[in-house]
Amino acid sequence: MIKQHILVTVDNVIFTISENQVQVLLIKRNADPFKWTRAIPGWFVLESEDCEQAAYRELQEETNVKNVYLEQLYTFSDVKRDPRGRVISIAYMALVARENMTIKAGSDAAEANFFPIENLPKLAFDHKKILGYALQRLRRKIEYTNVAQYILPKKFTLSELQKVYEIVLGQDIDVRNFRKKVDKIWLVKATWEKEIGVKYRPAKLYKFVESKLKIVEVL
């Protein structure tokens, strides 16, 4: 065998939508390097777990989350990406409904908060690059799959579904064309319930019929 000293981490780009914006979870680091700087949550992979397990474990450390979508993004391995030495990072992207999640600060963090992607603080390491990559993946993926369901609550209105697309893609979509597509392609079903507590005409609530990730032409 060979002598090699490379450390392996995972980093989780955790997206959600709230306040009509795509938001990403960032921690404030409580240790050097980049002490007090914001960063994507991540940690070293244990020898007894694969990277995906590590990503889930890390996810549980920062959030209390159920029903999350997790996907491996890319492996970042620039020689100088970490001042402590040679560290590569396998980046994951997670999508969660805001309501399915509470935040706590993990062991490496002074605090953890969501930030709208339009207004990000300075980030540690190469995390800006990782985040850019994740956002690009999210935008592509939402166009040809039904991942959007992971960002929505179990029951949702079609307006909410549409809003997710408009927010992620950053452009308005015609209501009628959108609904035509949803009718044809998505596995959604109207429930008999309606929105409550709104001060206008309440919308029908829908639910997803299948929760599997499907490759579909959405827009």
Partner DNA sequence: CTAATAGTGTCTCTGAGACACTATCTA
Partner DNA sequence: TAGATAGTGTCTCAGAGACACTATTAG
Q: Site for a copy of itself (CB under 8 A): which residue of 18, 21, 74, 207? A: 74
| Residue 199 contact among DNA, a copy of itself, none, beta carbon within 5 to 8 Å by kind | DNA
For residue 219, state whether it binds a copy of itself (rule: CB under 8 A).
no
Q: Contact at 8 Å (CB) between 10 and 42?
A: yes
Q: Three-state SS across 93-137?
A: EEECCHHHEEECCCCCEEEEEEEECCCCCCECCCHHHHHHHHHHH
For residue 175, state whether it binds DNA (rule: CB under 7 A).
yes
For residue 201, state whether it binds DNA (rule: CB under 7 A).
yes
**Which alpha helices (H) appear in the chain, and where do they start and end?**
51-62, 127-144, 158-169, 175-185
For residue 177, state whether it binds DNA (rule: CB under 7 A).
yes
Please report how close the Cβ of residue 110 comes to a copy of itself at its closest, in angstroms. Answer: 20
- The tokens describing 94, both together, are 């997670």
C-alpha span between 119 and 40 (Å, rounded): 15
Q: Site for a copy of itself (CB under 8 A): which residue of 4, 102, 119, 171? A: 4
Known catalytic residue at 111: yes
Give Cα separations from 119 to 23, 57, 112, 114, 115 (angstroms).
9, 28, 16, 11, 7
For residue 199, state whether it binds DNA (rule: CB under 7 A).
yes
| Residue 31 contact among DNA, a copy of itself, none, beta carbon within 5 to 8 Å by kind | none
For residue 145, state whether it binds DNA (rule: CB under 7 A).
no
For residue 198, state whether it binds a copy of itself (rule: CB under 8 A).
no
Q: Contact at 8 Å (CB) between 14 and 59?
A: yes
| Eight-state DSSP code of residue 202 | P
Residues that bind a copy of itself (CB under 8 A): 1-2, 4-8, 44-52, 72, 74-75, 77-79, 84-86, 88, 90
Residues that bind DNA (CB under 7 A): 157-159, 174-177, 179-181, 194, 198-204, 217, 219
